Chain A
Amino acid sequence: MEIVGRILMVEDDPKDVELTLTALEDYHLANEVIVTRDGEEALDYLFCRGKYAARPSELPAVMLLDLKLPKVDGLEVLRQVKSDDRLKLLPVVVLTSSREEKDLVSSYRLGVNAYVVKPVDFHEFVNAIKELGVFWAVINAAPPGSVRK
């Protein structure tokens, strides 16, 4: 059995969540996915605050981050993660509908590890998710302190 890292997904759209989970399920990557529905919840999870105060403080193997989020938007989440000494080791993949160069440039400026535009075509979408999941949760050697099972 391969070692699969835990995936933290930050996505407000339940349909996108379901499609993503379906895609990951096909490759047996879905059982270690944590879904947070807005920027604030994602930060609570990462900083072990609020309803996540009691969780063990290991890092996930990767965070899949949407940019357009309620309350705290994706770029702000990215900024806080990359300016925290412990969290900056966490690989962050922006997974968004936006092809805007502005978003791309801002994300890379803030130190994102990858930027993926969600394809409209379902096959491409499933492929993209699968490759992301396989690469970051399986192939990539996660930084020390992240969860493996």
Chain B
Amino acid sequence: MQATVGSSKATSPRWPRAIARYGVAAVSVAVATVLALLVRRFGFNDVALPLFLFAVGVTAWDAGPGPAVLSITLSALSFDFFFLPPFYSLDFSLADLPAVVLLLAFGFLITRFNTVRRRVEQQLLQARDELQAEVIERTQQASLLDLTHDSIFVRDSNDRITYWNRGAQELYGWTREQAIGQRSHDLLQTAFPAPLNDIEAELVRTGRWEGELRHTKADGNTVMVASRWSLRCDENGNPAATLETNNDISNQKRREEEIQSLNAQLAGWSAELQAANRELEAFAYSVSHDLRAPLRHVAGFAELLQKSGFSALNEKGRRYMTMILESANRMGELIDDLLAFSRIGRAETQMTSVNLDQLVKEVLGEARLETEGRDISWQIDPLPSCRGDRSMLKLVLVNLVSNAIKFTRQRTPATIEIGRAEGDKDEVVVFVRDNGAGFDMKYVHKLFGVFQRLHQSDVFEGTGIGLATVQRIIHRHGGKVRAEGVVDQGATFYFSVPKS
């Protein structure tokens, strides 16, 4: 039941249309017949054929060739029956032929016209569809240009804006409607980096131009843009339009300016620092020269007094005199060490490959005087070469080794070890270990400071400058120093220098 309904539904649009088309033929011929009969009653006999021709024409035009054939047949029959003598009979004679031929020819002509008309109509429809598709594609492309963050506009050869994307609207603040038709350089108050004539000459010559422009936005603020122009020419090679793409580089420019001003500031600081350094050098020079002179006088005259007036002095006086002399000599040592320390900061480093094994050997050789009569067990491991200033690194080793010798004075036997420790792959870490007096780790931060001492001076002499010197030299090499110690068990000093 349902299937039948379905099938009748599926076929129904075709049959009624065919019936209607053939109906047109029947109806139009019937109407022509009735009209011709009515007209004949009023005495007009020759109107019948034109009316049938009209019916055939209407059928051929509206209903197609099939109904036209039906219409021609019916018209011929009706004409023969009603309007050709003998009336009211279907008696075909040769006299009917012209009317039949006329009807056939007319039907064919109108059908042909109709076919042509349909073909033209078809082509028109196709052209319209194609046009619509293109419009859709173009619109999509234009909206793609709208998606980009760059501001893009097109201007014609008279500099009038013909396209203005959303990026341009967002950057400059003018809508598409406001911008299109305006002269772009007037609208944006463009400031060019070079004469406009030169820029346009380059554009025409190479087809493109790139540079930085200053534009004024709708709100009156200026904006720096990196601008790229591309020229489009017409088929004759004449410039037709320019595509201009602009990127806002105001932030970039501002950052550049900030960097420049920071650099200038830095240069200023550097100059100040250099001036401070020079002052410090002058200070060190005065210390070297002017501080030593009065000291020499104190020592010198105390000595002379001791010599010439010694017998006049009592025990106490002689002890005071000795203390004056000792103090003066100690201050001399302090000044010398301080100067040596400040010189490290000022001296130029000469970086070469340094054979640490050989350097250790030299340092131990020179320490022989200090170790005379001592029972010291040396453990010297092989060391690699490193990169550094040889004389400065030697000073580091001299300081560390002489510290080790000094602070193991109360040990028999003393053990001093020089070796290599684990470190990063681009550095060499060397340690100097002793079993001497050691130190308390809670003072380790003081160890490398200038004039810092962790032992009383009557037990272990020294100015407290040695480890500060070590640290300063190693820092100048880009390395690190550190120390480990336990009171009365010994200390280990590590330093790192770049590998050669």
Which residues of A line the B interface, CB within 8 A?
13, 15-16, 19, 22, 67-68, 96-101, 118-123, 125
Q: Is the interface of B mostly helix, strand, loop or mixed?
A: helix
Partner of A122, one of B288, B292, B300: B300
Q: Given the complex of chains A and B, what is the CA–CA distance between A22 and B304 in angstroms?
A: 9
- Inside 8 A of A15's CB, which chain B residues have their CB? 293, 297, 300-301
A-B contact count (CB 8 A): 60
Task: Report the contact-size class of chain B (Cβ under 8 Å from the partner).
Answer: 20 to 34
Partner of B296, one of A16, A22, A99: A16
Q: Given the complex of chains A and B, what is the CA–CA distance between A98 and B336 in angstroms?
A: 11
Q: Given the complex of chains A and B, what is the CA–CA distance between A68 and B288 in angstroms?
A: 12
- Inside 8 A of A16's CB, which chain B residues have their CB? 293, 296-297
Cβ A118 vs Cβ B299 within 8 A: no
Smallest beta-carbon distance A9→chain B, Å? 15
Partner of B329, one of A22, A67, A121: A121
Which residues of B line the A interface, CB within 8 A?
285, 288-290, 292-293, 295-297, 299-304, 325, 328-329, 331-332, 335-336, 339, 343
- Inside 8 A of A68's CB, which chain B residues have their CB? 289-290
Cβ B289 vs Cβ A98 within 8 A: yes
Q: Given the complex of chains A and B, what is the CA–CA distance between A120 and B302 in angstroms?
A: 12
Cβ B303 vs Cβ A120 within 8 A: no
With known contacts A121-B329, A123-B303, A97–B285 Cβ distance under 8 A: no
30 A-B pairs, CB-CB below 8 angstroms?
A: A15-B293, A15-B297, A15-B301, A16-B296, A19-B296, A19-B300, A22-B304, A67-B289, A68-B289, A68-B290, A96-B289, A97-B288, A97-B289, A97-B292, A98-B288, A98-B289, A99-B288, A99-B339, A100-B285, A101-B343, A119-B296, A120-B295, A120-B328, A120-B335, A121-B329, A122-B300, A122-B302, A122-B304, A125-B296, A125-B299
Q: Given the complex of chains A and B, what is the CA–CA distance between A97 and B299 in angstroms?
A: 14
- Inside 8 A of B331's CB, which chain A residues have their CB? 120
Q: Given the complex of chains A and B, what is the CA–CA distance between A70 and B299 in angstroms?
A: 25
Cβ A99 vs Cβ B336 within 8 A: yes
- Inside 8 A of A13's CB, which chain B residues have their CB? 293
B291: nearest residue on chain A (CB-CB)?
A: A97
Q: Given the complex of chains A and B, what is the CA–CA distance between A130 and B285 in angstroms?
A: 27
Smallest beta-carbon distance A86→chain B, Å? 31
A19: nearest residue on chain B (CB-CB)?
A: B300
Cβ A120 vs Cβ B289 within 8 A: no
Cβ B299 vs Cβ A122 within 8 A: yes
Cβ A120 vs Cβ B299 within 8 A: yes
Interface centre among B290, B297, B302 (most CB of A within 10 A): B297
Q: Given the complex of chains A and B, what is the CA–CA distance between A121 and B300 in angstroms?
A: 7
Interface centre among A68, A118, A119, A120 (most CB of B within 10 A): A120
